[in-house]
C-alpha cells in the first residue's frame, strides 16, 4: 500500500491549485492504455476520475485495479487491426469489417444495405474521424447517429422496425451484462466483458480529452503507436 496524495483529474479547480497541467498526463494515460491493450490485451477497466489522481508531484496516479479488461484472442486481434487501419494500412479495413460481420451477424450488412466492400468503406468513414480528429470535434454519439441514418436510408418502415427491435434487445442484453458487472463482477462471456469495458474506457477518455485536450485526437502519437504495432504480431483468429 502507498499513499497517493492528489485530487481527481476532473476536479479542475483543485487541479489548478496544484499548478499542474493535466493535458500531458491524460496523453500519458492514453499511451499506457494503448500499450497494455495492444501488447497483452489487458487494460485498467475503470478509469473514472476517482481512480485517476493528479498528484502534487505533477504525476498521474491510477488506483483501484479491481476491474481489469482482458480481451480474448479474436477481440485482441480486431483491436490491433483497427489500430493498423487507422494508421494507414488500407488492407486492415477489410479485416475490421469481417470481424464486425462475424460478431454481429449478416444482419449488420442487411441493416445498412451494403455489400462487404461498401460496408468496409462505411466502417472506415465512421471510425477514422472518431480516432483521428481532435477530441473537441468528435463524439461517440456521432457514430451511433450516422449508423442510424444509414439504416433509415437502406430500409423501409417494416424493416426499420425489425432492426429497432433487434437493437433494443441487444441494448437490454448489454444492460443485463452491466447489471451483472455492478452486482457480482460477472459477465456472460469474455467477449461481452472485454467489449463492454473497452467502450466504457473510450467514453472516459473522450470526457478527459474534451476537458484538457480538445485539439488532440486519441490516436495522436502516431510514432509511438506505429512502433507499438510493429512489435506486436498475434496470429489471426482461426
The model's pLDDT over 67-120, given as tens digits with 9 standing for 90+, comes to: 999 998 988 999 999 999 999 999 999 898 888 777 766 666 666 677 778 878
Q: Does residue 66 contact residue 46 with C-beta atoms inside 8 Å?
A: yes
In this predicted model, what pLDDT tens digit does every residue of 117-158 receive, in sequence order? 887 888 888 888 888 989 998 776 555 555 555 545 554 555
Q: Is 207 helix (H, G, I), strand (E, B) or coil?
A: helix
Q: Does residue 200 contact residue 181 with C-beta atoms inside 8 Å?
A: no
Residue 237 belongs to some domain of the structure: no
Q: Structural domain of residue 209, as residue ranges?
A: 6-230
CA distance 97 to 121: 9
Number of domains in the chain: 1
Residue 29 belongs to some domain of the structure: yes
Q: Does residue 46 contact residue 203 with C-beta atoms inside 8 Å?
A: no
pTM of the model: 0.77
CA distance 58 to 75: 35
Provide CB contacts within 8 A for 158, sequence distance 6+.
none
Residue 33 belongs to some domain of the structure: yes
CA distance 61 to 8: 9
The grid coordinates of residue 17 equal 491549485
CA distance 9 to 94: 38
Residue 236 belongs to some domain of the structure: no
Amino acid at each position: 500500500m502507498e499513499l497517493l496524495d492528489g485530487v481527481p483529474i476532473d476536479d479542475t479547480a483543485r487541479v489548478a491549485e496544484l499548478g499542474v497541467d493535466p493535458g500531458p498526463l491524460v496523453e500519458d494515460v492514453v499511451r499506457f492504455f494503448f500499450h497494455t491493450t495492444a501488447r497483452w490485451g489487458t487494460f485498467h477497466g475503470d478509469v473514472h476520475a476517482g481512480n485517476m489522481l493528479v498528484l502534487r508531484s505533477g504525476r498521474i496516479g491510477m488506483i483501484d485495479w479491481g476491474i481489469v479488461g482482458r480481451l480474448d484472442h479474436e477481440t485482441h486481434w480486431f483491436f490491433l487491426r483497427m489500430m493498423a487501419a487507422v494508421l494507414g494500412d488500407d488492407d486492415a479495413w477489410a479485416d475490421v469489417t469481417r470481424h464486425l460481420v462475424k460478431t454481429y451477424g449478416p444482419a449488420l450488412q442487411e441493416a445498412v444495405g451494403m455489400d462487404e466492400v461498401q460496408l468496409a468503406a462505411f466502417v472506415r468513414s465512421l471510425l477514422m474521424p472518431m480516432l483521428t480528429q481532435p477530441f473537441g470535434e468528435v463524439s461517440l454519439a456521432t457514430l451511433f447517429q450516422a449508423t442510424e441514418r444509414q439504416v433509415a436510408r437502406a430500409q423501409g418502415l417494416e424493416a426499420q422496425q425489425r432492426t429497432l427491435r433487434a437493437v433494443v434487445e441487444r441494448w437490454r442484453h448489454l444492460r443485463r451484462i452491466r447489471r451483472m458487472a455492478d452486482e457480482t463482477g460477472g459477465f456472460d462471456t469474455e467477449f461481452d466483458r472485454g467489449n463492454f469495458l473497452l467502450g466504457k474506457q473510450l467514453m472516459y477518455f473522450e470526457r478527459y480529452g474534451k476537458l484538457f485536450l480538445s485539439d488532440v485526437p486519441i490516436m495522436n502519437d502516431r510514432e509511438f503507436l506505429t512502433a507499438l504495432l510493429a512489435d506486436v504480431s498475434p496470429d489471426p483468429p482461426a
